[in-house]
Structure 1
Amino acid sequence: MTINGAGRYDGGAAATGGIQWLLQPRGIRKGGRAHFRHTVQVGVKLADYADVLGGEAAKLTELFPEGTAARFWGATPAASEGNAKGRALLGCRVGDEVLFYNQWKFIARATITAKFWNTHLAEALWGKDEEDGATWEHMIALGDVVEFDVDARPALAAFGINGALRGLRLESAERRLAFINEHGAPWSSPTTAGVVPAPRKPKTEPQSKLERQALLHAFRTLRTHTAQDGPSPHKPLALLWSIGRVAAGEERLAPWDVFEREVGALLAEFGGEGSQVTPHYPFSRLRSSGVWEVHGVADGIKDPGPGALRMAGAKAGFVSEAARRLRKARIRAEAVKVLSSMYFPTAVRPLVLDRVGLGGYLSASGHIEEPVDDTTDVAEGVAGPVKRRLTKGMRPERNPELIRQVKRWHQDTCQVCSEPLEDLFGHYSEAAHIQGIGSPHDGPDQLSNMLCLCPNHHRQFDRLAIYIDPEWKVRRTRDDEFLYELRFHPRHRIEPEHVEYHRVLCGKND
């Protein structure tokens, strides 16, 4: 199918007919998140794709001058012009707004600044769909991109969409206007022509989510020096170290001598071969991130040396609002996931997190026992030839009745694979907490936070190899492949908040 008017840039279309909403799923399968980050959040340089711009080259260059990030999204062809996707592709116009959807939330809004069809550019940007070999050739250029994090369910219900948004939808200007007048912020925007919502008190929850999103965005977009072996770890290491301080309840501002000693040791270990140990650089340069402040040094002094910082008695750390956000378990887990996955290779990630006191984020269960004291006496020969060590540890106290109950409900059958594991005395299963009750997750010991699993899937769930998506499908973390439908029992209510926390640890929350 070919879009009527492909390649035309009639900027007055939406203004005369009213702004429509194009509801666009971002997709949770392989590629969706990476595509969104690549061409919507970050954007691309047009010059890198000059050979495939085709007839749109002049207009796109006008929209995105040199030095400006070009932002695009696209859709694969619709099976029919008469279905919802076909109508959306045909009916959307320059000036309409796109609402990007993911896992029951709208995550961004943007304005359509151009609408065109370009198979070669789409393939260069996103490749081809692995399932059918199609590419996202029905393209739109985007302006005024605003990231947010708001519940999509009120809008879906208002537009008669039952369940999750599964495909492209176009909502009329009239329905959009009615929804904005009813719900107000954050749906209204500077592009909302002619709309004056009724006065109302600002909603606190969307605002807090915006602030959380801004914090995570700052971590995703750190300005780091890039060497041959990848981005410099100086700033990410300093931030992870500081998150470790927040998690441990320490002061958010660290004195320079403490920072120099501890972050300097991290840089010596993880800074890369031939890298200089220069902790004073992240100490002061992190101010550009917007989430970091330095006390004792004037803002105009870009790179004070170690001696100057020592003389000034300088301190540095997260701004108070960032520190307050990071004291919340879920936001802290998201921040750790962003920083560790974006800036450190998989091989060294566990060691880095362990060094900064955040090793508990490597598994869903967290730390369930305090480190053993190596000085504890060894009792030899008490129970055989193998030495025994008396451990000094602390383990969260689990309610054994809850363990028995969840196993009874599911008759020792795994909720993931539906296989009962037979042993000599009957069947065996394990009760797994979804949000771990160990530090740093500190989830509740409740049935709504538990699953009945076989040992294999308990281990995979705990080690973040599998996750449960918002539609209760069990997927493999590394490639989002569908594996199983989660089994339920009518009396066993599982709290979605705990499942969402586990997705955060798996990096599948956005």
Structure 2
Amino acid sequence: MAIRDQKVGDEVLFCAGDRFIAKARILGLMHSPGLAAAVWGADEDQKTWEHIMALGEIVEIDVPAASLLTELVKQPILRSLTLIPAEVRRRHLALFNSLLDGQAPQAHHRSLDGKPAVSVPAMRREELLHALGTLDAGAPDEQHTRDASLMLLWALGRLVAGYNRLVPRDLCAREMGPLLLDFGAHDVDVALDHTFQHLQDTGLWHTESAGGGFAAGLKRDVARLLQTPLARAEAVGLLLCTSYFQDADQAVLLERVGLAGYANAEGTVDEESEEGAVGATPSASPGRRPVNGSRPDRDPRLAERIKLLHGHRCQVCGERLETRFGHYSEAAHIQGVGRPHKGPDRLSNMLCLCPNHHVQFDKLFFFIDEEWNVRRSRDEKLIRPLIRHPKHVIDQTCVEYHRGLCGRSRY
């Protein structure tokens, strides 16, 4: 029963006596009585372990098990194969990591329901990504997951804008209400209460008493992690990909929560303003007006270098578009140099693409995986290997950033 209910990506812990001795991730699941009987045989009743899991790299560890097992299964010794729900696992993830690091748990405090809880070390980036990528684990229905994702995007937008991470409930209701009505639930009050509790269970959210009511928002260590550009891009990508927003206009949604620049890989330039143009006079050409504004500095020589290096051949499809006077291709920044990405303007952050694939790359239709394969973002279907040139060294951190925007971070 426990193996049958596992999912690809779940973590497996091996326990012997009072210690955890190894851990691994599930790469595949199969149901094959014939294979199981051939490998392990069958008992006198012709029963065998017919539900089989394929594991990735097994990492040996030496972690005392009693304290964590007491939290997870209410007993200090594991006596059988046990399946732990993902939301329970996430709730105690930091405790396991503290034990793995040889750190003693810190002082106890009381949770909102009055039960003792363990104050654990700050959340790590991989824990954050795992929590964001598995928001649906333990949720009663997909609507709650969608509402939770929407609230996290709203909280992230406030964080980017420099607002306080904790928001009183009445202010949250005023700001989240229209978003929930347009993109999520229809009963705002019920949705808020369910969403607060669901986010609290993920370990991402903090709620505290404030002025006769309560304030809620991202936990301090979560907010700290999301201040880094990579984690922020990965968070937006994961929330959009794993939260049932496929039928929504995601560009409009991101604009509504203050994250418009994350709708594409190129980013946005600073808003142009026609105010303050002292002494400016209207242009004689109809339909045009002088403006003040700022744009990221770009070196046009780099664009020409990347095109000539690849002979104007697209690094995705290999096509070389011929024109009357030569050939045409486009230079694409991998991590956009516009807001909010602020990637570097250098050759290692550029690709040579045809116009079609440039548009698709900027619109996050495909990404480049760790093995330099081009894959479709929505389902990771292989398109083809990226065409590379030995003299063109690509910055893997920029590729990782773009992959995060596409919602394909590994967690």
Does residue 221 of the first structure (1) align with residue 106 of the second (2)? Answer: no
Does residue 401 of the first structure (1) align with residue 401 of the second (2)? Answer: no
Deviations 1:419-443 (A, max 9, x none): 2222233222211111111222221
User: Is the alpha carbon distance of 1:369 and 1:203 closer, same or farther for their aligned partners in structure 2, counting shifts above 3 Å?
Assistant: farther
Q: Could you tell me how far apart the structure 1 residues matched to 2:367 and 2:336 are?
A: 14
Normalising by structure 1, report the TM-score.
0.55
Instruction: Name the residue aligned to 2:371.
Output: 471
Deviations 1:72-95 (A, max 9, x none): 679xxxxxxxxxxxxxxxxxx999
Does residue 315 of the first structure (1) align with residue 215 of the second (2)? Answer: yes
Shift of 1:406: 1.5
Shift of 1:324: 0.6
- Letter in structure 1 aligned against 2:329: S
Deviations 1:245-300 (A, max 9, x none): 2222332222444323211222232234x534557526853433322222325xxx
Structure 2 matches for 1:183-262, cutoff 5 A?
187-189=61-63, 211-219=124-132, 220-221=134-135, 224=139, 226=141, 230-231=143-144, 233-262=146-175
Shift of 1:448: 0.9
User: Is the alpha carbon distance of 1:232 and 1:189 closer, same or farther for their aligned partners in structure 2, counting shifts above 3 Å?
Assistant: closer
Deviations 1:46-81 (A, max 9, x none): xxxxxxxxxxxxxx4xx57xxxx832679xxxxxxx
Deviations 1:124-178 (A, max 9, x none): xxxxxxxxxxxxx974259xxxxxxxxxxxxxxxxxxxxxxxxx8999xxxx8xx
Does residue 118 of the first structure (1) align with residue 33 of the second (2)? Answer: yes
Instruction: Name the residue aligned to 2:107.
Output: none
SS in 2 for 1:353: helix
User: Is the alpha carbon distance of 1:432 and 1:97 closer, same or farther for their aligned partners in structure 2, counting shifts above 3 Å?
Assistant: farther
Is the contact between residue 467 and residue 475 of structure 1 (CA under 8 Å) also seen in structure 2?
A: yes
SS in 2 for 1:343: coil
Is the contact between residue 157 and residue 258 of structure 2 (CA under 8 Å) also seen in structure 1?
A: yes
Q: Could you tell me how far apart the structure 2 residues matched to 1:462 and 1:452 are?
A: 13
Unaligned runs of at least 5 residues, structure 2 = 37-48, 66-99, 104-119
- Letter in structure 1 aligned against 2:327: H
SS in 2 for 1:293: strand
User: Is the alpha carbon distance of 1:169 and 1:396 closer, same or farther for their aligned partners in structure 2, counting shifts above 3 Å?
Assistant: closer
SS in 1 for 2:317: coil
- Letter in structure 2 aligned against 1:402: L
Is the contact between residue 448 and residue 493 of structure 1 (CA under 8 Å) also seen in structure 2?
A: yes
Instruction: Name the residue aligned to 2:6.
Output: 71
Q: Could you tell me how far apart the structure 1 residues matched to 2:231 and 2:263 are?
A: 16
- Letter in structure 2 aligned against 1:359: A
Find the partner of 2:238 among 311, 330, 338: 338
Is the contact between residue 333 and residue 505 of structure 1 (CA under 8 Å) also seen in structure 2?
A: yes
Does residue 140 of the first structure (1) align with residue 52 of the second (2)? Answer: yes
Does residue 430 of the first structure (1) align with residue 330 of the second (2)? Answer: yes
User: Is the alpha carbon distance of 1:290 and 1:463 closer, same or farther for their aligned partners in structure 2, counting shifts above 3 Å?
Assistant: same
User: Is the alpha carbon distance of 1:431 and 1:275 closer, same or farther for their aligned partners in structure 2, counting shifts above 3 Å?
Assistant: same
Instruction: Name the residue aligned to 1:504.
Output: 404
Find the partner of 1:367 among 245, 268, 276: 268
Is the contact between residue 274 and residue 292 of structure 2 (CA under 8 Å) also seen in structure 1?
A: yes
Instruction: Name the residue aligned to 1:412.
Output: 312
Shift of 1:491: 2.1
Q: Could you tell me how far apart the structure 2 residues matched to 1:282 and 1:331 are?
A: 26
Instruction: Name the residue aligned to 2:284.
Output: 382
SS in 1 for 2:124: helix
Instruction: Name the residue aligned to 1:275.
Output: 187
SS in 2 for 1:294: strand
Instruction: Name the residue aligned to 1:80.
Output: none
Shift of 1:237: 1.9
Shift of 1:398: 0.8
Matched residue pairs, number?
Answer: 335
User: Is the alpha carbon distance of 1:477 and 1:372 closer, same or farther for their aligned partners in structure 2, counting shifts above 3 Å?
Assistant: farther
Q: Could you tell me how far apart the structure 2 residues matched to 1:441 and 1:324 are?
A: 18
Q: Could you tell me how far apart the structure 1 residues matched to 2:269 and 2:403 are?
A: 20
Unaligned runs of at least 5 residues, structure 1 = 1-59, 75-92, 101-107, 122-136, 143-167, 181-186, 192-200, 298-310
- Letter in structure 1 aligned against 2:202: S
Is the contact between residue 434 and residue 498 of structure 1 (CA under 8 Å) also seen in structure 2?
A: yes
Shift of 1:388: 2.3
SS in 2 for 1:388: coil
Instruction: Name the residue aligned to 2:209.
Output: 296
Is the contact between residue 474 and residue 482 of structure 1 (CA under 8 Å) also seen in structure 2?
A: yes
- Letter in structure 2 aligned against 1:221: L
Is the contact between residue 218 and residue 289 of structure 1 (CA under 8 Å) also seen in structure 2?
A: yes
Q: Which runs of 4+ in 1 moved over 6 A?
A: 93-99, 168-171, 207-210, 371-376
SS in 1 for 2:306: helix
Instruction: Name the residue aligned to 1:358.
Output: 259
Shift of 1:323: 0.5
User: Is the alpha carbon distance of 1:119 and 1:237 closer, same or farther for their aligned partners in structure 2, counting shifts above 3 Å?
Assistant: farther
Normalising by structure 2, report the TM-score.
0.67
Q: Could you tell me how far apart the structure 2 residues matched to 1:483 and 1:217 are?
A: 26
Instruction: Name the residue aligned to 1:447.
Output: 347
Is the contact between residue 260 and residue 279 of structure 1 (CA under 8 Å) also seen in structure 2?
A: no
- Letter in structure 2 aligned against 1:243: L
Q: Could you tell me how far apart the structure 2 residues matched to 1:333 and 1:116 are?
A: 38
Deviations 1:320-357 (A, max 9, x none): 11111111122222222222222233131332222101
SS in 1 for 2:242: helix
Moved more, 407-416 or 364-373: 364-373
User: Is the alpha carbon distance of 1:366 and 1:287 closer, same or farther for their aligned partners in structure 2, counting shifts above 3 Å?
Assistant: same
Q: Could you tell me how far apart the structure 2 residues matched to 1:317 and 1:72 are?
A: 30
Q: Could you tell me how far apart the structure 2 residues matched to 1:170 and 1:319 are?
A: 32
Q: Aligned-residue CA RMSD in angstroms?
A: 4.4
Shift of 1:244: 0.9
Deviations 1:216-243 (A, max 9, x none): 333323565537xx44643322211111
Q: Could you tell me how far apart the structure 2 residues matched to 1:470 and 1:455 are?
A: 24
Does residue 421 of the first structure (1) align with residue 336 of the second (2)? Answer: no
